Amino acid sequence: MQGITFRISDKSVDAYNFRGGKRAVTEPVDVLRYTWEKGSRKEHSLIETHYTRCKDLLQSSMPKEHDRIQNFVPRSNGFVDTILEAYNQHHNLIIRPDDIWVAILSQLSLYVNANSEELRKVFVQHEGKMKLKLVYEGTRRTFDFSIMARDFSKLLKKNINDPSFGDFVLPNFSTTGPNDTVICSMIMMSILKQYFSYDVWLTCGIPEITLLGTKEDYLNILHRIDQLSQMEMGAEPRAFAALLRPIITQFISAFDEAPQIDKEFWGRICHQQHLGSGSDILSGWVTAFCVWNERGRWCGPDLNTLKYERAFRDHFEIDGKQYPVIDITSIPPGWCEADVHLNDNGEELECVVVAGHMVTEVMETPGSNIMGTIRPAPQWFMFEKRVWWKNKRLKSGWNRFLRRVHLLRSDSFFSCLLSASVEENMYNA
């Protein structure tokens, strides 16, 4: 990195003394927890004041490695206090253009916020605070909040009187790194905080979707859905077809030559929301594939159910179609079963076929060594049932037990596996 070095006194450099009441940093939150106010010489904490408390540090630019972070000392003003200490304690001093610019912007923020109403027309035309909202996929534990800062600086430029003010704030010096841009973006948010409020929504999401097959395949599905709606099976299958139609239409649109991917549609594929008391609900258009429960009962929407109100608002209606909102524990099985009586050359066997969605396949993401791609992988099974009960009362009681633990009927695939396990344990006892 370019620069110049020059001497300004005959003093020899002294080693830094980490003692004398100065607290060494052992973790990033220490910088917030312990700051030093030079004017009064009183230690105070930024995060323990009435107005600013830190419940949980989500992310910071501080290094996490102990051998690096222990060389940081908390300061109330890291620019001025560092210069003072270098002068008083005979330490060499390094200053970057970005350091000076951050110090200048910090002062400007204090002035603008103290005179926000007098300066309002300089920056904006609206009254009060305009809400700026960003939506990302992830959680507070996984999301990179530096992206948030840069995106807010772009939004601010679009919503102030003079967009060039954003260019004025953001540094572009020869020493400027990504972290400097993030810091100045956050300072820009501070300068304009009397005119704007900042909302960030983090949601779960799917990074990338691959639709295998051809456009004709999905047109074929749409044709079959139309056939379903015309079959004389009642109102529920017709409603089922109506829910499926806009979904498959979006699948078809994705195969257009210049597709306009509807990210809002794909972002509303599913939404899981916790409502307290251990209850979770599922909404989004994926519930179109959950309209009947395991007993074949319709799980259509009930708009009078108050506890679902929040989920309805953001995830319930697509293209005028209202989609079910269901308890997460009520997701029906994705597989089907049927009994098969097999005669194997005169030997009669009671069997079951099971087929459908029973597994998720994890695959390597193309172009990387990360096992980060998943897909549903339908499977089928056929097996001979193992019947170990003879007493009808015992069988009836066992059926009730299976239903209580959500294993469906005694003839199901899972109950067969369970009964086989129980019998094996009985034999091994």
pLDDT of residue 334: 65
Q: The dihedral of CA 225, 264, 274, 357: what is its sign?
A: positive
User: How confident is the chain (429 residues) per 10-residue block, as mean pLDDT?
Assistant: 82 74 67 48 44 65 80 79 81 88 90 94 96 81 87 95 96 91 92 91 79 95 95 89 92 88 82 59 84 83 40 51 72 70 71 66 68 67 64 57 50 46 40
CB neighbour list of residue 228: distance below 8 Å, 6 or more residues apart:
237, 240, 241
Single pTM value for the model: 0.58
**Coil vs helix vs strand at 58:** coil
End-to-end CA distance of the chain: 75
pLDDT of residue 267: 79
DSSP assignments along 105-126, one per residue = HHHHHHHHHHTTTTTHHHH-SS
> Distance between CA atoms of 23 and 20, rounded to whole angstroms?
9
In the block, which residue shows the tokens 């099974």? 381
Q: Are strands 321-322 and 326-327 parallel, antiparallel or unpaired?
A: unpaired
**Coil vs helix vs strand at 385:** coil
